[in-house]
Amino acid sequence: MAPTGGPRQPEAPTGGCGFPGAPSHGAAAPSVGARAVGSRVPSVASLLAVAHRHLRLALPVESAGAVTRSYLDDGRCVGWYAPPVPGWRVAIDAERVGAPVPTALARRFGTADFWARWTRAECLAKLTDVPIAAWWQRHGLAVPPRVDWLWRTLTIADLVVTVAFVATAPPRG
């Protein structure tokens, strides 16, 4: 998966993330590359390294200021509150760790690491403007090779959350 620019990341630290009861751990930078976009604008890699700090769990009515959000089946909302990075789009998706995998999806994709694979596929489908059913036909829940996206999947409190970025212009060189 290294050519994708978004190899699977280790479980993320969870402190300071706006999730009640989440334990605090030291942050480790993900092993992903990103283009430098300016000295005062954070890079995608630096945002992914501390993604947990930019995610907040709240009611939807309290999430209006989020750059992007993901609505959970229990009425909560996860929002992404990081500065924009010029030249990149961002998407997030979140699911409850303990949510049952729908039977039809379990038969099709299996249950091992399902919600992590699901949230990644959802994010990448959103970023490429591909309906998720079409994504399934093309890729299943896999991450296809691509050099202009970066992503990180985290487990925070009772949630699996993926944060993904795609370059809005093709990479140069």
Give the N- to C-terminal CA distance of the chain in Å, as an integer. Answer: 21
Please give the residue that has the higher pLDDT: either 170 or 166.
166
* Token pair recorded at residue 83: 């500065």
Q: Which tokens sit at 24?
A: 């605090």
Confidence tier at 42 by pLDDT (50, 70, 90): confident
Residues 161, 70 contacting (CB under 8 angstroms): yes
Categorize the per-residue pLDDT at 171 as very low, low, confident or very high, splitting at 50, 70 and 90: low
Residue with tokens 């760790």: 97
How many residues belong to the chain?
A: 173
- pTM for the model stands at 0.77
Is residue 31 pLDDT above 60, yes or no? no
Element (H, E) at 133: helix 132-139
pLDDT tens per residue, range 148-169: 889 999 999 999 999 999 998 7
> How far apart (Å, rounded) are the C-alpha atoms in residues 172 and 156?
35
> Each residue of 98-116: pLDDT tens digit?
999 999 999 999 999 999 9
Q: Can you tell me which residue has the tokens 């049952």? A: 100
3-class state of residue 50 by DSSP? coil
pLDDT at 170: 62
Instruction: Decide: helix, strand or coil at residue 120.
Output: helix
Assign 97 to helix, strand or coil.
Answer: coil
